[in-house]
Amino acid sequence: MRTDYHVHTERGPYTVEWLERFIETARMRGVEELGISEHGYRFKQTQALFDNEWTSKKRTEDLDEYMQMVMDARKAGHKVKFGIELDYVPGRDEDMRHFLASYPFDYVIGSVHWLGDFGFDLLEYRTRWEERIVSEIYEEYFQILINLADSRLFQIVGHPDVIKVFGHEPDDREFLLSWYARLAAHFKKNDQCIEVSTAGLRKPVQKMYPAPDFLRACFQAQVPIALSSDAHRPEDVGADYDTAIAYIREAGYTNICTFENRVRTLVALT
């Protein structure tokens, strides 16, 4: 089976007609299970979870309308999973838990995009990388990933090393290997599934998420994986999957995760 659980339809209306463009690309590329996981910050219902000057401008949508699109697609005969991608913010665990209990998500992707007020993967904030030491940024990011895993709020850890998006990477490989092993151990302890994402191939870094050493550390720790594209356009659904599957197999994996009602199942990767 091939899946794509990290898909955003935000560039169009929340209608079945728009969603069907993503579904058609999935069909053409052999993606048998498609999940939609809109950014949580877009919805007014999530304002209490995380808000800043940047997200406040993006918070224009109603989560109930988004959910209705998925439910209407199911009524039309499409097999599509209902998900969401939430920014993990330390200290908001209980608020997030209460919010997540109020919607019938099939899975929830937990991601880190912000270090305080630093949106490290946004073009608007790119110059701030020059103001700090790269290894210190990574350390802060990885520590929040530890907290994310410990929260056990999410079914999938999104693009685990998205911190490298603009190509900023520490020179010290031992520093990274130490963190990869530590993170893999936490993912395993907290029964987390991590995402293998082709999105990095379309970003300035032009690399898969996570890095080969990171993925191997997770395999050695027996951390399960999900396969996704992080598509924001219909044409990116299932993008570069032949590359991704070879990458996954090279790390040792033969199975990927599927989800329904937040219950995980392992299936053979094809």
CATH code, domain with 121: 3.20.20.140
> Count of H helices and E strands in the chain?
8, 11
Residue 179, amino acid:
W
Domain housing 135: 3-268
pLDDT score for 264:
98
Give the whole-number percent of the chain exceeding pLDDT 90.
Answer: 100
Task: Give me the mean pLDDT over the 11-15 stretch.
Answer: 97
Nearest residue to 256 via CA among 23, 24, 31: 31
Q: For residues 109 and 192, what is the distance between their CA atoms, to the nearest angstrom?
A: 11
Per-residue pLDDT of 50-96, as tens digits, reads: 999 999 999 999 999 999 999 999 999 999 999 999 999 999 999 99
pLDDT confidence tier of residue 263, bands split at 50, 70 and 90: very high
DSSP letters for 107-145: EEEEE--EETTEETTSGGGGGGGGGS-HHHHHHHHHHHH
Q: What is the mean pLDDT of the chain?
A: 97
pLDDT score for 12:
96
Q: For residues 186 and 149, what is the distance between their CA atoms, to the nearest angstrom?
A: 7
pLDDT score for 106:
98
What is the tally of structural domains in the chain? 1
Do the beta carbons of residue 241 and residue 198 sit within 8 Å?
A: yes
Contacts of 2 (CB under 8 A, 6+ apart): 29, 30, 31, 32, 33, 227, 238, 241, 245, 269, 270
Task: Give me the mean pLDDT over the 25-43 stretch.
Answer: 97
pLDDT score for 181:
98
Per-residue pLDDT of 104-135, as tens digits, reads: 999 999 999 999 999 999 999 999 999 999 99
Task: Give me the mean pLDDT over the 146-160 stretch.
Answer: 98
pLDDT score for 5:
98
Q: For residues 54 and 56, what is the distance between their CA atoms, to the nearest angstrom?
A: 6
